Amino acid sequence: MISRKNQLRMIKKYQNRRLYDISTSTYVVLDDIKKIIISGEEIKVIDAKTEEDITRSVLLHILLEEEMNGVPIFSNVFLFQIIKFYGKTFQPTVSPFLEQGVDLFSKTQKRFYEKIRDLYGKEKLSSGVELWREFMREQGQDIEDVLQDKLQNSTDAFLKMQDQTGANTRSAFDYVQFSFANDKDK
């Protein structure tokens, strides 16, 4: 039997902007969807009329609300950097780098909480949040530096590959032009 956490939770969005959770037969709000995601479930939001997948726009809406109303995760500098990637040839490669960074951070956090649980038991797990804050105060810069280095090295390697591809293309084009000119002279 598939556990509920492995199922894709379907949400329909109606023209009146109301969201309907098919699995619970109830109307939900964005905060409910956020809680569903935090609990580990995946969702898919479809437009009730067109059946179009609008999950991405709902997720972005949740992020926007969180960034505007809570403690923001994204700094202005980070947002400027992300915006600069749009329209570039390497735009599709940005997402995997960011996903790897977030995944690395998530795994670090998970291992940290597992260590707390192993050392102190489940009753101390709630104090793990404060310990995590302390850990991040002490190690946060190191984690940020590792992620930054990984992203910078990957970006540098990609840009070098892109430059080499451009040089090879120019070289091939020059060769074709040279060959065409020689054929014309014969």
Q: What is the pLDDT of residues 122-145, one digit of tens each?
A: 665 556 667 767 777 777 777 777
Residue with tokens 């102190």: 120
pTM: 0.60
**What's the pLDDT score for residue 121?**
67
- Residue 2 — pLDDT band, cuts 50, 70, 90? very low
Give 73's DSSP letter. Answer: S
At 30 the pLDDT is 94
For residue 19, pLDDT over 60 is answered with yes
pLDDT at 1: 33
Mean pLDDT of the chain: 81
What pLDDT shows up at residue 3?
A: 41
Beta bridge partners of 11: 21, 45
Q: How many CA atoms lie within 13 A of 163 on its CB side?
A: 6
Q: Provide the pLDDT confidence category of residue 178 given band limits of 50, 70 and 90.
A: low
Taking CA atoms, 131 is separated from 6, 8, 106, 145, in Å, by: 30, 33, 16, 21
Buried b / exposed e along 81-114 (16+ C-beta atoms within 10 A): eeeebeeeeeeeebeebeeebeeeeeeeeeebee
pLDDT for 125: 57
pLDDT band for position 153 (cuts 50, 70, 90): confident
The four Cα atoms 83, 74, 155, 159 give a dihedral, to 10 degrees, of 10
Reduced to 3 states (helix: H, G, I; strand: E, B; else coil), residue 20 is strand
pLDDT digits (tens, 9 = 90+) for 35-62: 999 888 999 999 999 999 999 999 999 9
Residue type, 103: D
In whole angstroms, give the CA distance from residue 56 to residue 43: 10
Sorted by sequence, the CB contacts under 8 Å of residue 48 that are 6+ apart come out as 12, 13, 14, 15, 20
- Is pLDDT at 165 greater than 80 in this prediction? no
Which neighbouring-strand residues pair with 46?
12, 53
Q: How far is C-alpha 65 from the geometric centre of its chain's CA atoms?
A: 17
Angle among Cα 168, 172, 174 to the nearest 5 degrees reads: 115
